[in-house]
Amino acid sequence: MIVRQFLSLRKAGVLGMNRRNTQYIMRFNRRSGFPLVDDKLTTKHLALKHGIPTPPLYHVISYHGEIAGVEKALGDREEFALKPARGSGGSGIVLITDRREGKFVTQSGKAISREEIRYHISDILSGIYSLEGLEDKAVIEGLIHPDQVFGKVTYEGVPDVRIIVYRGVPAMAMVRLPTRQSDGKANLHRGAVGVGIDIGRGKTLDGVRRSGAIMRHPDTGESLRDIEVPFWERMLLIAAQCTDMTGLGYLGVDLVIDKNDGPLLLEMNARPGLQIQIANRTGLVERLGMIDRAPKEIFLSPEKRVTWAIQTIAEPRS
């Protein structure tokens, strides 16, 4: 019974957690590279150095004593995103779209008081959202205005694009669409919808929510299929550059598409999840194998790797 199940996963080329850890993360991601991606501030500085666009940084709060000065530092900015620098899985992120009568209005329209914001920043500094529960910093950066390409299949929030980059070559991609259940957040484990993206054509495939397949967005009812992702090649290139930037060989790159600024690097993940396989209805093993067998010369530059990926990694046309 179980052997048969294992066999069918094997046949589908599904990459399991153990194999991802032993054969890819442990082999291609050296530990010293992890801090580069675990801390959003470090990532931001690194990206800046390499000319990769990220959301603009407004303010950093490192100590509890600085909390009181937040409003002053914000000046008259009406919209911003408040994030823990070392947060994971989208936890602790608050998006503010407006300020009215001393209160902050979140993206979902809820008004929260100044005290609540301070309380939240204090939580962030205490490390409640950080990966190992260590003391953390709070980052305030520019709010993203998502490109309307996914407008019809998004419930509030900002959809983001996840690209798995293996040895500098984009291997698999998906877009994560917030839903009512995920509270406007683009995290699959919170109930967001994941939709695979054909690397070659830059078009969306079918969707997945939790572990089930879906064709339409659960809140808007719009079809998820065949949406053409703008700036696709540029996004693939940014993703490919991230490997050169960090030296990590197995990387998850998260991007957003801003209405005005185009694709921006949001964050990177040195232990990217495996759910992307479900969104693509394809196992990663074969793709990673293809990249391992790719001609040596494509690894010379990010551009060559992207070109190779677009030509070679084709979705099963169904």
Partner 1 sequence: MRSGEDIVLEILGRSFTVKRPALWLAVALFLISLSVIEYRVFRLGYPLFPTSPVKAWGLSMEVFFEPTGKDGKEMEIRAGLPQSRPGEAVIEQGDLSGSLQFNLLAEGLNQIGVWSGDPEEGRVLSYRATVLLNPKRLAKPKPPGAESFPAIIADKSEQILAKRLVERYASLKAPEKLKAIGSASKGIWRNPQPDDNDLKQWSEVQKKHGAEGALEILLRVANFPIRKVQGFILAESVSTQPDRWFAVWTGQRWRPMQIETGDLYPESVRLLPLMIGDTPLVKISGAKLQEVRWTLSKQTLSKWRSHFERIQRSTRFLDQWSLFTLPKEFQDNFHILLLVPIGVLMISVLRNIVGFPTFGIFMPVLMALAFRSTGLAYGLLIFAGVVLIGYLLRRGIDRLRLLLVPRLSFLITFVILAFAVFALIGSKFGMREFMAVGLLPFVILSMTIERFFIVIEESGTLRALQTAAGSAAVAAITYKIIQIDPLQLTFFVYPELLFAIMGFLLLLGNYSGYRLSEILRFKILGEKP
Please identify, using beta-carbon distances, which residue of 18 and 260 lies nearer to partner 1.
Answer: 18
Q: How far is the CB of 14 from partner 1 (least distance, A)?
A: 5
**Pairing mode of beta strands 138-141, 160-166:** unpaired
> For residue 48, which phi and psi values (nearest 5 degrees)?
-60, -45
Contact call for residues 67 and 117 (beta carbons, < 8 A): no
Comparing CB distances to partner 1, the nearer of 246 and 282 is: 282
Judging by DSSP bridges, how do beta strands 250-258 and 212-214 pair with one another?
unpaired
Among candidate residues 292, 282, 290, the one with its CA nearest the CA of residue 311: 290
Angle (CA) 232 237 242, round 5°? 130
- Summarize the chain as % helix, strand, coil (round to 5): 35, 25, 35
Give the nearest distance from C-beta 298 to partner 1 in angstroms.
Answer: 26
Find the shortest distance in angstroms from Cβ 180 to partner 1.
Answer: 15
Chain residues in the site for partner 1 (CB under 8 A): 2-3, 5-12, 14, 16-19, 21-23, 88-89, 91, 115, 119, 122-123, 126-129, 133, 189-190, 208, 211-213, 274, 277-278, 281-283
CA dist 177 and 197 (Å) reads: 13
Q: How far is the CB of 312 from partner 1 (least distance, A)?
A: 21
Minimum CB–partner distance for residue 121 and partner 1 (Å): 11
